[in-house]
Amino acid sequence: MESKEKFAPPAEFAAQAHVPSFADYERLYAAALADPDKFWAERAGDLHWFQRWTQVCDWSNAPFAKWFVGGKTNLSYNCLDRHLPTARRNKAAIVWEGENYEQRTLTYQELYRKVCKFANALKGLGLKSGDRAIIYMPMVPEAAVAMLACARLGVTHSVVFGGFSAEALKTRIQDLEACLVITADAGLRRGKEVLLKPAVDESLADCPTVKNVIVYKRLGTLTQMKSGRDHWWDDLTTGISEECPAEPLDSEHPLYVLYTSGTTGKPKGVVHTTGGYLTYVLATMKWVFDLKEEDTYWCTADIGWVTGHSYVVYGPLAAGATTFMYEGAPDWPKWDRFWRLIEKYRISVFYTSPTAIRAFIRQGDDFPNGHDLSSLRLLGSVGEPINPTAWKWYHTTIGKERCPIVDTWWQTETGGILISPLPGATPTKPGSATRPLPGIVAEVVDDKGEPVKIGKGFLVLSRPWPSMLRTIYGNPERFKAGYWSRFPGKYFTGDAATIDEDGYIWCLGRVDDVINVAGHRLSTMEVESSLVRHKSVAEAAVVGAPHEMKGEAIYCFVALKTGVNGSDALVDELRDWVAHEIGALAKPEKINFVAALPKTRSGKIMRRLLREIVTTKSVAGDTSTLEDYGVILKLSQEGKEEEEILGEKK
Ligand code: WT7
């Protein structure tokens, strides 16, 4: 994995950068370390506060943090109203292209009016600060409008990725006790309509808390509307006032809950709040993306993921930037769609995932080479480790060796980028996210929590930071146990990492039962629970196996009920079953039928062993005799270690 090569920031880039040298980075880092309160207060000073805070960080009730205590602010105000008295009022806030080549541009004023109108519509339905709303939308500007309107009123939103199933949607609505769902008739993906409203209808059969559904008409797909519950977006926002004052919200008001996979079958609702989150995403927009007034910035993430929250909507708009949104697939109608978009809209900062990059490499260089990519000045990567080969291709074929690459490490829980090069300051090494950002104390520690100077260990964060998750929705115990118990006083990321002689961090991936498929997090237990709900399945174990394109792929070991015979047809049926229950991204790569699952004496499934089998031995062909691998023999030797490794979560 490690590469000795080092790439200095191009001199031309450094000369114009917000942070123009490594010495400047180190100065910022030292300042934040020496006096964090002063440092973060200065960053928060870039924002509008209806009322100033009295305390920067209250860590007295750790691990439950409060930032900018007593302060009152509003995300929507900071993303919109704050820009209106400036030249940005008629600047493009969102530039959008549909998969079918439709184009829309919303200036800051236009976006402001849309958000106000929609917020008034929400008020009309009786929504108020403290309520929870689900957003289940395709990648259209209205998704951002819905988020900003909720934020304007203090309605906590939870965006559910449009690719998730009705079942996944239902779990989230129920956990959140949401009273409203905002959705669309359908979205477009590879030329096909992806229906959203029918999934909402299906999930609402078991969600009594939901009183209203708002449906945005994206395609005009025939849609059944339930009278009294369902409303068309356009009907609600026609003839309504274009002014809606932003609520002065407490700095710790919950802005959103975003569900992510943990080590159990039940997704956890990561809670992010207002003032600290906003302060941090704005600061990182400048540090990491070196954002300038002239940039046209494109982050390819869907709004269903945290990247879409922080770096498609809130970060860029708080910075007054032009954020580009694309509705569809990268290979539609051909594999050059992204490069075509970069050329057409003169994108200058481009942020995508290693999975996408690997897929592009496979399609050959003719696609990017057929387009003018000279508008690009900075490239970013997020979601999983980027292998040096992919990094170099990105650097050469897309960046023409001119654009720095920022490999950004962070998590749904961290709210913003924590470890990343600063493009004008930090020399990069392909495959390393380099150094923590100012204000972030990231350490690699051994089993006992002692810092490793050079070498491998667990990645932890030793100080609170403004955009950290505050809790798990409705489950503070899970928050404490899941993140703060393994290494007392420190936040455990769940990642293993190496730290090298330059203090550079190389993230190695998860050490828990979480897998990262194409940059999207899934819990092995979630897939297992889905499999055992199938009538033919007795037991299931799921592990991640390295995959050339997706980073990791889902491998399932399934023991069938007595009397049921494994067949290719059953493999297909089970794969479709999981895809239907969770969403297409959870569709297993491979299903192996086994007579029994290997377990420890305490009955815990030996996932580590199964991982080893799928990583080092070929599982192609018939593996129904898994025990022949000497499973039983190995069990007694490895059982102990497995218990130790996973000991923190019994
Ligand atoms: C996990 C978090 C942050 C938005 C997307 C994923 C892995 C993330 C990197 C990177 C190596 C990375 C980690 C992390 N990860 N970025 N630059 N290099 N690994 O968010 O679903 O919360 O997943 O993704 O394993 O813990 P997420």
Beta carbon of 111 within 6 Å of any ligand 1 atom:
no
The rounded Å distance from CA 607 to ligand 1 centre is: 21
pLDDT tens profile 534-561: 999 988 999 998 898 888 999 999 999 8
H helix or E strand, kind and range, residue 456:
strand 455-461
Answer yes or no: is the C-beta of 358 below 6 A from any ligand 1 atom.
no
- Say which residue, 562 or 506, is predicted with more confidence: 506
Query: pLDDT at residue 633 above 70?
Result: no
Q: Is 80 helix (H, G, I), strand (E, B) or coil?
A: coil
> For ligand 1, atom 21, which residue shows the shortest CA distance?
521
Confidence of residue 612 (pLDDT cuts 50, 70, 90): confident
What is the whole-number distance in angstroms between the Cα of residue 416 and the centre of ligand 1?
11
511 or 379, which is more confident? 379
Q: In the predicted model, is pLDDT for residue 366 greater than 90?
A: yes
Ligand 1 centroid vs 493 CA: distance in angstroms?
A: 10
- Report the pLDDT averaged over residues 570-591: 94
Quick one: CA dihedral 234, 237, 242, 244, positive or negative?
negative
| Residue 640: band (very low, low, confident or very high) from pLDDT cuts 50, 70, 90 | very low
- Residue 642: pLDDT band with limits 50, 70, 90: very low
Classify the C-alpha dihedral 530-535-538-544 as positive or negative.
negative
Any ligand 1 atom below 6 A from CB of 442: no
Question: For 302-350, what is each residue's pLDDT tens digit?
Answer: 999 999 999 999 999 999 999 999 999 999 999 999 999 999 999 999 9
Question: Which protein residue has the closest C-alpha to ligand 1 atom 27?
Answer: 411
pTM: 0.89
Determine contact, residues 485/648, Cβ cutoff 8 Å: yes
Shortest-distance atom of ligand 1 to CA 261: 21
Return mean pLDDT, the chain: 92
> In this predicted model, what pLDDT tens digit does every residue of 109-122 receive, in sequence order?
999 999 999 999 99
Domain-by-domain residue ranges, the chain? 518-645
Q: Which of 521, 537, 519 is nearest to 529 (CA)?
A: 537
Q: 493: Cβ below 6 Å to ligand 1?
A: yes
187 lines ligand 1 (CB under 6 A): no
Atom of ligand 1 nearest to the CA of 420: 17
**How much is the pLDDT for 645?**
29
CB of 267 shorter than 6 A to ligand 1:
no
Provide the pLDDT confidence category of residue 265 given band limits of 50, 70 and 90. Answer: confident
Q: Cβ(385) to ligand 1 under 6 A?
A: yes
pLDDT at 600: 64
284 lines ligand 1 (CB under 6 A): no
Ligand 1 contact, 431 CB (< 6 A): no
Do residues 575 and 154 touch, judged by C-beta distance below 8 A?
A: no
Q: 359: Cβ–Cβ under 8 A, 6 or more apart, which residues?
A: 330, 331, 549
| pLDDT at residue number 603 | 66
Q: Whose alpha carbon is nearest atom 19 of ligand 1?
A: 384
Alpha carbon 221 to its chain's center: 29
User: What pLDDT, on the 0 to 100 scale, is given for residue 648?
Assistant: 29
Angle formed at CA 60 by CA 57 and CA 61, multiple of 5 degrees: 110
Nearest CA to ligand 1 atom 8: 383
Q: Mean pLDDT over residues 424-451, rounded?
A: 97
Distance 229 CA to ligand 1 centre (A): 38
Class of domain 518-645: alpha beta
Which of 413-427, 475-489, 551-565 is least confident?
551-565
pLDDT of residue 519: 85
Nearest-CA residue for ligand 1 atom 14 is 411
* Residue percentage of the chain with pLDDT more than 70: 94
Res. 84: pLDDT tops 80: yes
User: Is residue 354 a contact partner of residue 385, using CB atoms and an 8 Å limit?
Assistant: yes
Q: Average pLDDT in the 1-16 region?
A: 86
Residue 433, ligand 1, Cβ within 6 A: yes
